[in-house]
Amino acid sequence: MKLNPKLKLNANQPPLPTRNGYGDALLELGKTNKNVYVLCADLTESTRADKFAKAYPNQFVEIGIAEQNLVTVASGLAHAGKIPFASSYAAFCPGRCWEQIRTTICYNNQNVKIIGAHAGVSVGPDGATHQMLEDIAIMRALPNMTVVVPLDYNQTSAATKAIAKHIGPAYMRFARDPTPQLTTPKTPFQIGKIQVLQDGSDLTIIGCGPILFQAIQAASILKNQHNISVAILNCHTIKPLDTRTIEAYAKKTKRIITIEEAQIAGGLGSAIAEHLSSTIPTHIYRLGIKDHYGESGEPSELLKKFKLTPQDIARECHKIFKTK
């Protein structure tokens, strides 16, 4: 079986917020597609929809602090042939309007793009109420919904353009703080296709979002200190899963570690475990938030709190490597 080629990582660019990739991509989409509409719930600057709003005011709708209205208006626009992007904090959308997403968007298979910003614990001092950790679980459970968690600025831009072309409901989540750029503007992106960031033969780390940068650092620790060869897969699309590549690496390394800046219950790790349990039973260890709300603190402090630093990841990987 031919697997995806290893990506050449982009180590020369400064860190950028993933949310900036969303805002910049919207601006490009507005130039070429007059059917693209952006809706926001009083968080235009935070979600980086402000540039689009200024450039294309006739394609922008400020709903105000009313997330249920946000997604139902978006559903109506989609029914009229538009391509609406409904943007808010993930804690509020999908957090506050899940029923409306379920009934007015997914049940009717409307072409709406739900954008959840400021997801994960890296939101930092905003605290538990704003650190959305359950969104992957609640969105992937919805029929017809595509779920995307891009890796970095460039991939968020590419993913925004990809879901604009995709026909049907889609959810994309991203973070607030600057994070390293591991891809380039030319890096291919395809919904439902895993990217191999690093090949390896001893165990496989499968993750999504900026937390994969910590996984890459952990892989370096494992190689240097224990001579363990780690494959790292960027599973940016959680639904639909790239089951072919996941199965190939399950056969190759026999051990899978999943990592996500979200609740492990119902998240990426659960999706992979569910699939492999009925196809290739594999030793799987899930890293992420374990039945706990977020807390107020700097992103680095919270990664340490929830044992998601490179050192923590390397330690857990070493444990699973030694199991038979």
Structure tokens at 311: 């050192």
Q: What is the DSSP string of 76-131?
A: HHHHTT-EEEEEEETTTTTTTTHHHIIIIIITTT---EEEEESBSGGGGGG-TTT-
For residues 36 and 125, membership in a common domain is answered with yes
For residues 39 and 155, membership in a common domain is answered with yes
Q: Is residue 188 part of a domain?
A: no
Q: How far, in Å, are 259, 281, 316 from residue 205 at the CA level?
A: 7, 16, 11
Q: Which residue has the tokens 């049907």?
A: 168
For residues 123 and 208, membership in a common domain is answered with no
Q: What is the DSSP string of 19-76?
A: HHHHHHHHHHHHHH-TTEEEEESS-TTTTT-HHHHHH-GGGEEE--S-HHHHHHHHHH
For residues 166 and 208, membership in a common domain is answered with no
Q: Is residue 77 part of a domain?
A: yes
Q: What is the pLDDT of residue 1?
A: 31
Q: What CATH number does residue 125 fall under?
A: 3.40.50.970
Q: Which of 179, 214, 229 is the last residue before a domain boundary?
A: 179
Q: Is residue 208 part of a domain?
A: yes
φ/ψ of 236, rounded to 5, equals: -65, -20
Q: What is the pLDDT of residue 9?
A: 57
φ/ψ of 298, rounded to 5, equals: -70, 150
Residues near 250 by beta carbon (within 8 Å), at least 6 away in sequence: 204, 256, 276, 280, 282
Q: How many separate domains does the chain show?
A: 2
For residues 154 and 203, membership in a common domain is answered with no
Structure tokens at 171: 């959810």
Q: What is the DSSP string of 252-269?
A: HHSEEEEEEEEESTTSHH
For residues 287 and 213, membership in a common domain is answered with yes
Q: Which of 179, 214, 243 is the last residue before a domain boundary?
A: 179
Query: CA dihedral defined by 305, 232, 140, 29, rounded to 10 degrees?
Result: 100
Q: Is residue 243 part of a domain?
A: yes
Q: d(Cα 168, Cα 107) in Å, to the nearest integer?
A: 11
Q: Is residue 230 part of a domain?
A: yes
Residues near 28 by beta carbon (within 8 Å), at least 6 away in sequence: 157, 161
For residues 228 and 281, membership in a common domain is answered with yes
Q: How far, in Å, are 17, 32, 101, 161, 162 from residue 106 at the CA level?
A: 29, 27, 6, 20, 19
Q: What is the pLDDT of residue 3?
A: 38
Q: Is residue 313 part of a domain?
A: yes
For residues 50 and 141, membership in a common domain is answered with yes
Q: Which of 117, 146, 179 is the last residue before a domain boundary?
A: 179
Per-residue pLDDT of the chain (324 residues; tens, 9 = 90+): 333 445 555 657 889 999 999 999 999 999 999 999 999 999 999 999 999 999 999 999 999 999 999 999 999 999 999 999 999 999 999 999 999 999 999 999 999 999 999 999 988 888 899 999 999 999 999 999 999 999 999 999 999 999 999 999 999 999 998 999 999 999 999 999 999 999 999 999 999 999 999 999 999 999 999 999 999 999 999 999 999 999 999 999 999 999 999 999 999 999 999 999 999 999 999 999 999 999 999 999 999 999 999 999 999 999 988 876
Q: Is residue 187 part of a domain?
A: no
For residues 84 and 51, membership in a common domain is answered with yes
Q: d(Cα 130, Cα 256) in Å, to the nearest integer?
A: 30
**DSSP-assigned letter for residue 317:** H
Q: Is residue 11 part of a domain?
A: no
Catalytic machinery residues: 67
For residues 76 and 107, membership in a common domain is answered with yes
Q: Which of 138, 151, 92 is nearest to 117 (CA)?
A: 92
127-144 b/e (C-beta count within 10 Å ≥ 16 → b): eeebbbbbbbbbbbebee
The residue segments making up the domain with residue 259 are 195-322
Q: d(Cα 278, Cα 71) in Å, to the nearest integer?
A: 36
How many CB atoms are closer than 10 A to CB 291?
7
Q: d(Cα 260, Cα 120) in Å, to the nearest integer?
A: 9
Q: d(Cα 288, Cα 290) in Å, to the nearest integer?
A: 6
3-state helix, strand, coil in the chain (%, to 5): 40, 20, 40
For residues 32 and 127, membership in a common domain is answered with yes
For residues 27 and 91, membership in a common domain is answered with yes
First to last CA, the chain: 26
Q: What is the pLDDT of residue 5?
A: 42
